[in-house]
Structure 1
Amino acid sequence: FFSQMPPKAPPKPCGVEFPEDSEGKRPTTEINRETFAVAIEAIRPDLAEKVRAEKKWRFKYTKHVVDQVEASLQTPEAALDVAKAGLQYLHYTMEFLRDDKPYSINEAMSKFTTGTFQTGVVQGTAEPRNEAYIPYKGGVLRGTALKTQVDKWVRAGVIELSCGQALCQIADNRKWLDLSDQVFVMLGASSAMGPFPLLMALGATVVAVDIDRPHIWKKLFAICKASPGKLVFPLKQSQDTYASEDELAAGAGCNLLTETPEIRNWLLSVESGQDMTVGAYAYLDGPLFVRISVAMDAIISDLVDKRKAGVAYLCTPTDAHVVPAPAMAHSSEILRRSPLWQALLAMCLKGPQAMRPNKRKPVTAENGDEFYVCDAIVPDQGPNYILAKRLQHWRVMITRSKGCVASSNIAPSTATASVVSNKSFALAYQGMPQFKPIEVFQEETSSAVMGLLLVHDVRNVNSAANPNTELRNPLEVFTDSSFHGGAWRCGYKFGCIGVGSVLSALFTKYVLRTYLALYNGAQVAGWSRALFDIAMYASAPTSNNLWDVAGPTIGFFQWLAVLEVVHSLLGMVKSPVGTTAMQIWSRVMLVSAINYVPAVQGSDNKFLWAMTVAWCITEIIRYSYYGLGLYKINVGLLTWLRYTLFIVLYPTGVAGEMGCLYKSMPGMMDAPPSGANPIVSYFLRPILKNSLGYFLAIVPMYVVGLTTLYGHMLAQRKKVLGGGGGKKVKKE
């Protein structure tokens, strides 16, 4: 019976839609491509022809987007002409369907000017805090801790200098953070990346527009009531007709796609007489993102023209942006210093998956100014996503040219629930941090940061968002205060590291961690055996020398540690290659010297006792700490031992090493060179012909090495175990 039932008919199109073609379908590719063609045709008809001739638009659109950005940099007027042409085409081509009748967006917004909503209000009761804060890695950054972390982000290349300066200005200026005089309209108020919680916490009036789903409004009500802010929202009926909060939540909300003109009508009247900033935060997948972005743009356009509203957007880093020259230079430096495995992977990947350097030639404008464009577009996002973001760029530039504040800061890659629900994206996000300086943020961090940058743009008259701030080209409004998460300064193009990120995540999860766990476990076992042998020898000496008992084990596991240089070289661990190689070399050199000179192998050599015991205890603790850390197992006692015993063990071990090396000098000179021990024969013997070589070469090496390592470990001890300003994150 059920198999004979006719398939369920698709819902009738209504609201904002792509136009219908001659076959009764509503395709997206043609409109998408033609929008870019019409936009660029305003300044470069030749490029428009190339866009229209592109047969594989779904896979080749990225080049044309970059071409458009670079062409727009020729003059400020060119950028605005492109923006105006693109938006005009969308407003006259995209349709608004009501009662089965199609209208262009422009016609619909002109025709439906009377319908509206009732207004609901919820007032928060909390005391205002007027303090900048950023949730980060389980804690909350405030004050000095916030500025310290911002400085680290800037130095690493995770954010731009202008962004760091903006965040520090906000942290230092509490008056800016009193938003009781500000009205923000949020189209898509419940967006994971939107600044609703922060705006509420700072006492703003937020006019919230979101879909009519009770659970959404209950969440917004709860956030508001726990804050000093004021929430204004659309209702189907007068607020006094609702008997409970549940009923109020059920009656709240509207539909941006189908009630676009009515939302515009309501917003033109709400909070009358006050300046407002309207932000577009709603997101839907695929073609729906274009539709809802066009709907929001139709609303915003009228609010800008009729209420002189400012605008606010969240830019994606996965786009083509004008970037500072130092960002391009830094990306080249990071590429040069990238781990060997990335270079090998880049050699193996070909075609669409190829990893290409993040580098483009500068664009020279008509007046001689040079601009750098970073192509960080991820092709898999698709042309609908890039069109939706591009029309937002166009609206920002046009709004700013009309004398209104236009805030459009770049948000970083963020592990929102919608993104990580896709297993491929989730794996890519896990592996991306292997490509320095990329950092993937949690949504609470991104939301707070973008909210603070919005406040900065609204408050600071010198921000790039302010129309009175001079820019060389309107596209530079997106350059300022960029929190791009490292996309601009990555050595490889951000859009090309997807496969590498996934492979890195899989390798780390299923191969690397297991290998490193086995390696660290083997080292713990080896050094434990050596310490056991030393202890047994000390309690019951035999005719054998101390080195005869423990030397073979120590030598084997010390030579095994040469693998750590390979680990560092391949980027398997974070240790610097040079430092690691120097530490391993000094140990291997000592083992070779002792093996070469029997006179220093005896139990009467107190330097040998000091060195071997210090080595064993240090390595047992160190490798145990590393091994457990791979599985995020934190043993308090082990951590304390790791960052405390070195105070005694490091100088003890170094004293033993230097003493053993000094005592071995006569024996090295007396014995003939041997190919079986090339380190002694061809390195140590030429240096240690006399005491002068020892004091000129060996002593300075140890003094510098110990001082550097000791200072580093003391700093790490302060950071890990506390003792002042070492903590980075303040927890509430």
Structure 2
Amino acid sequence: MPNVNPTGVIIPSVDGKPSTSALGRAVVAEALRGVDPVGARGAEASTDWRHDYLVHFRRLVEAGLPSREAALTIAREGLSSLHKRMRYRQKPDGTEEPLAAAFTAAAPPLTTVTVTGRGEPERELTVPYRGRRLAGAELDRQLERWVAAGTIERSCADTVRTVAANPDWLSLSGRRVVVLGAGAEMGPLRALLRWGADVVAVDLPRPAIWERLTGLAERYAGRLHLPATGDERGADLLHDLGRVAGWIDGLDGRLVLGNYVYADGPLNVRVAMAVDALTVHLRERRPDLGLAFLATPTDVFAVPDDAVDEATRRYAAASGIGRFRRPLRVLSAGRLLTRNYPPGLYPGINDSLVPQQGPNYALAKRLQRWRAAEARAAGLTVAFAVAPATRTRSVVKNRLLAAAFAGAHRFGIEIFEPATSNTLMAALLVHDLNAGRPAHEHPWQDEAFAAAHGGLWRQPYSARSALGIAVLMGIGGARG
């Protein structure tokens, strides 16, 4: 009979079985308790977390709005709860131990393989887009079109323009970027290697991943450092966390730890927690450690006043599908095409959580936002960007999401191709590491700065109230 006990970083068991619902309820409740006791009790009382989480994850943002300290309290308490609750199991028949045990497991150290590229570093920022590589005035015009369409925030366009005007920043001289989840489609690895940067790559020990990544490294101008055990390249963060931590800590230079990991279902929470445990471990040993994160636009964010005003104007204009808004709202008992925001209420709350992605995805991404806020408040260099919805393999394999993406343009939402997204996000990373970000009074403003949300923040309708229509239109378009 096969052993069902997972090993490595694991979800804590309830009645002998891992329970992500119990974990999610407890973490959200503990995050809220100090600033919103009523919200905390509501999370604890949930009997259907798979559906109820939508309300409670929104509340995590709303409860933090009154003050900077409220938002940071939620972040710190949420992180503390996760670290207290998550567990580590070394062997299938072993016991659940505290997460810190991941760093004490005995194992031979990893070695380093370095691949030095043969290409010349690119000296100009270029962004691939619809079969072209945009640079200079052409890139500038496209940035302005995205701003006019509400696809990105103006601060995002200005930030990319600043990088384009300072091409010497692209190589990130004096820094090494550790790309966790190096094979991810949304990661910056390809762009950084093109620009001649020094990159440290961590991903699973799967030959196909490393054949592709070393091929890129040889083709481009940067240097790629990767972990190895004998002839096997790569390392597993879930099971080899102690070895990965020791290997990274042994690298020379000023490090930036970039979190680009992703997995399906409960595994996403486990790997996200492994990365956060690694982050805490390395911060204790390397005070100059920088951090980098990508946020998903399908989450809950506070948004600027002008985004609320623009969405309100678009709602009043009732163009496109909006011409049928009244009968659709009547037929759906008010569920379809609801306003994105109440007019005049600032800051707005953009709730674009997608039920199909589920509470595990939401928790894994919120964990990263909490760590970014906590680390920024502690004085660390933090590169953070809201990335646009993108046609990655992990997303479009879900048929409903793929159909929604196909119909999203009907609502003014642009779905990006991976090459465009990851280059834009790499440019924002380069900016934050070279120039830093402006100081803001509240963490929500840090998150909203330079956001490339694809249009979700400025469209007239709340995302979930338009999702079903987008799916139907996407399916119809595919059939056509």
TM-score by length of 1: 0.63
Q: Which runs of structure 2 are paired with 1:399-548 in the superposition (5 Å)?
A: 399-436=375-412, 438-461=413-436, 463=437, 469-510=438-479
Note if contact 2:177-2:198 (Cα within 8 Å) is conserved in structure 1: yes
Q: Please state if 1:257 is matched with 2:238.
A: yes
Note if contact 1:310-1:399 (Cα within 8 Å) is conserved in structure 2: no
Residue aligning to 1:301:
280
The one of 182, 203, 220 aligned to 1:227: 220
| Aligned partner letter, 1:359 | Y
For residue 318 of structure 1, give the secondary structure of its aligned residue in structure 2: coil
Q: CA separation in 2, counterparts of 1:115 and 1:92?
A: 28
Q: Please state if 1:94 is matched with 2:86.
A: yes
| Aligned partner letter, 2:66 | Q
Q: CA separation in 2, counterparts of 1:280 and 1:470?
A: 23
For residue 382 of structure 1, give the secondary structure of its aligned residue in structure 2: helix
Higher strand share: 2
> Shift of residue 116 of structure 1?
2.9
Q: CA separation in 2, counterparts of 1:506 and 1:11?
A: 38
Q: CA separation in 2, counterparts of 1:407 and 1:507?
A: 40
Q: CA separation in 2, counterparts of 1:131 and 1:501?
A: 38
| Aligned partner letter, 1:51 | A
Q: Which runs of structure 2 are paired with 1:38-437 in the superposition (5 Å)?
A: 38-99=30-91, 100-109=94-103, 111-112=104-105, 116-237=109-230, 248=231, 251-270=232-251, 272=252, 274-307=253-286, 308-337=288-317, 338-339=319-320, 340-344=322-326, 346-348=328-330, 350=332, 354-360=336-342, 371-436=347-412
> Shift of residue 348 of structure 1?
5.0
Deviations 1:672-712 (A, max 9, x none): xxxxxxxxxxxxxxxxxxxxxxxxxxxxxxxxxxxxxxxxx
Percent of matched pairs sharing the same residue: 34
> Shift of residue 505 of structure 1?
2.3
Q: CA separation in 1, counterparts of 2:218 and 2:377?
A: 38
Structure 1 342/509 Cα, relative in aligned 2: closer, same or farther at 3 Å? farther
Q: Cα RMSD (Å) of the superposition?
A: 1.9
Structure 1 80/68 Cα, relative in aligned 2: closer, same or farther at 3 Å? same
> Shift of residue 29 of structure 1?
0.4
> Shift of residue 297 of structure 1?
0.6
Note if contact 2:257-2:289 (Cα within 8 Å) is conserved in structure 1: yes
Q: CA separation in 2, counterparts of 1:114 and 1:309?
A: 25
> Shift of residue 101 of structure 1?
2.8
Deviations 1:392-444 (A, max 9, x none): 011001111121111110111111122222222221111000002x1001111
For residue 113 of structure 2, give the secondary structure of its aligned residue in structure 1: strand
Deviations 1:115-161 (A, max 9, x none): 53111111112111221111111111111111110010001100000
Deviations 1:450-486 (A, max 9, x none): 111111111113x1xxxxx421112321110001000
Q: CA separation in 2, counterparts of 1:360 and 1:384?
A: 29
For residue 472 of structure 1, give the secondary structure of its aligned residue in structure 2: coil
| Aligned partner letter, 2:278 | I
Residue aligning to 1:670:
none
> Shift of residue 186 of structure 1?
0.7
Q: CA separation in 2, counterparts of 1:314 and 1:154?
A: 20
Q: Matched residue pairs, number?
A: 475
Note if contact 1:353-1:499 (Cα within 8 Å) is conserved in structure 2: no
Q: CA separation in 2, counterparts of 1:346 and 1:266?
A: 57
* Structure 1, unpaired ranges of 5+: 1-7, 238-247, 364-369, 464-468, 514-732
Note if contact 2:171-2:192 (Cα within 8 Å) is conserved in structure 1: no
Structure 1 351/68 Cα, relative in aligned 2: closer, same or farther at 3 Å? farther
Higher helix share: 1
For residue 359 of structure 1, give the secondary structure of its aligned residue in structure 2: coil
Note if contact 2:35-2:70 (Cα within 8 Å) is conserved in structure 1: yes
For residue 179 of structure 2, give the secondary structure of its aligned residue in structure 1: strand
| Aligned partner letter, 2:250 | S
Q: CA separation in 2, counterparts of 1:114 and 1:42?
A: 41
Q: CA separation in 2, counterparts of 1:149 and 1:254?
A: 39
Residue aligning to 1:466:
none
Note if contact 1:471-1:477 (Cα within 8 Å) is conserved in structure 2: yes
Note if contact 2:309-2:344 (Cα within 8 Å) is conserved in structure 1: no
Q: CA separation in 2, counterparts of 1:77 and 1:130?
A: 42
* Structure 2, unpaired ranges of 5+: none
Note if contact 1:201-1:228 (Cα within 8 Å) is conserved in structure 2: yes
> Shift of residue 328 of structure 1?
0.8
> Shift of residue 105 of structure 1?
1.2
Note if contact 2:388-2:421 (Cα within 8 Å) is conserved in structure 1: yes
Q: CA separation in 2, counterparts of 1:91 and 1:351?
A: 43
> Shift of residue 55 of structure 1?
2.0
- Which of structures 1 and 2 has the bigger CA Rg? 1
Deviations 1:480-517 (A, max 9, x none): 0001000101111123222111222234455xx6xxxx
| Aligned partner letter, 2:387 | A
Q: CA separation in 2, counterparts of 1:406 and 1:115?
A: 32
Structure 1 163/342 Cα, relative in aligned 2: closer, same or farther at 3 Å? farther
Deviations 1:507-560 (A, max 9, x none): 4455xx6xxxxxxxxxxxxxxxxxxxxxxxxxxxxxxxxxxxxxxxxxxxxxxx
Structure 1 305/509 Cα, relative in aligned 2: closer, same or farther at 3 Å? same
> Shift of residue 54 of structure 1?
2.1
Q: CA separation in 2, counterparts of 1:236 and 1:404?
A: 32
Worse-superposed segment, 49-58 or 443-452: 49-58
Q: CA separation in 2, counterparts of 1:17 and 1:275?
A: 31
> Shift of residue 303 of structure 1?
2.2
Q: CA separation in 1, counterparts of 2:48 and 2:344?
A: 27
Residue aligning to 1:728:
none
> Shift of residue 349 of structure 1?
5.5
Which of structure 1's runs of 4+ aligned residues deviate more than 6 A?
none
Q: CA separation in 1, counterparts of 2:5 and 2:407?
A: 42
Q: CA separation in 2, counterparts of 1:16 and 1:57?
A: 22
Note if contact 1:362-1:373 (Cα within 8 Å) is conserved in structure 2: no
Q: CA separation in 2, counterparts of 1:506 and 1:169?
A: 40
Q: CA separation in 2, counterparts of 1:375 and 1:113?
A: 45
For residue 32 of structure 1, give the secondary structure of its aligned residue in structure 2: helix
> Shift of residue 42 of structure 1?
2.3
For residue 24 of structure 2, give the secondary structure of its aligned residue in structure 1: helix
Structure 1 119/506 Cα, relative in aligned 2: closer, same or farther at 3 Å? closer
For residue 14 of structure 2, give the secondary structure of its aligned residue in structure 1: coil
